[in-house]
């Protein structure tokens, strides 16, 4: 497996490394954002936050009815959970997600990238949702509504019967 140091030495990509240092050794905070500027490697973008800050967002999006059943199948069969670095968080977030209005889903999700849900949207969400917003949240809260997971399962079953 290629390390970040190997990538820096061998890649034509540009990297941004920023460090915030405090006066006390035990309070040194380092933020590293390695951002691939090559379109070929956008899916390999690496974002790290090692300061211990949880980056939790409240997400709201409109479900694309024609594709949401396919998303459920990928979530349920383990395809999405294998996606690195965010697959397990996507599955957990979808299990917590609720429908708050017809065709509108809301959930909380943790993400450490400078652009919230960047990788998640590029690889999964933009295929199954539109009009997505992500607002910073202090913590995960309770959202009232019907289970998105159950709704997606019913759509997957409907599509399976139609085939």
Range of the domain at 84: 56-162
- Looking at the 3D structure of the chain, how many domains does it have? 2
85 upstream amide cis, omega within 30 of 0: yes
Reply yes or no on whether the pLDDT at 22 is more than 80. no
66 & 39 share domain: no
Pair 131, 62: CB distance under 8 Å: yes
Mean pLDDT of 81-85: 94
Q: Does one domain contain both 64 and 33?
A: no
Compute the distance between CA of residue 146 and CA of residue 38 in angstroms, rounded to an integer. 41
In three-state secondary structure terms, 1 is coil
Instruction: Indicate if the pLDDT at residue 5 is higher than 80.
Output: no
Both 35 and 103 in a single domain?
no
Query: What is the value of pTM for the model shown?
Result: 0.67
Is 93 in the same domain as 114? yes
- Does residue 17 share a domain with residue 36? yes
Which tens digit of pLDDT belongs to each residue from 45-78?
A: 334 444 445 589 999 999 999 999 999 999 999 9
């Amino acid at each position: 497996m290629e390390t970040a140091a190997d990538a820096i030495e061998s890649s034509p990509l540009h990297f941004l490394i920023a460090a915030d240092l405090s006066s006390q050794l035990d309070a040194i905070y380092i933020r590293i954002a390695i951002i691939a500027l090559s379109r070929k490697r956008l899916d390999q973008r690496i974002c790290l936050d090692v300061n211990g800050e949880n980056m939790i967002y409240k997400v709201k999006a409109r479900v694309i009815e024609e594709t949401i059943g396919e998303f459920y199948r990928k979530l349920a069969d383990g395809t999405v959970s294998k996606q690195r670095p965010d697959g397990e968080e996507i599955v957990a977030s979808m299990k917590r997600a609720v429908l708050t209005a017809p065709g509108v889903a809301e959930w909380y999700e943790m993400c450490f990238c400078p652009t919230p849900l960047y990788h998640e949207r590029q690889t999964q969400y933009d295929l199954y949702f539109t009009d997505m917003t992500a607002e910073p949240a202090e913590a995960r809260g309770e959202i009232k509504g019907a289970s998105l997971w159950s709704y997606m399962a019913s759509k997957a079953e409907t599509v399976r019967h139609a085939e």
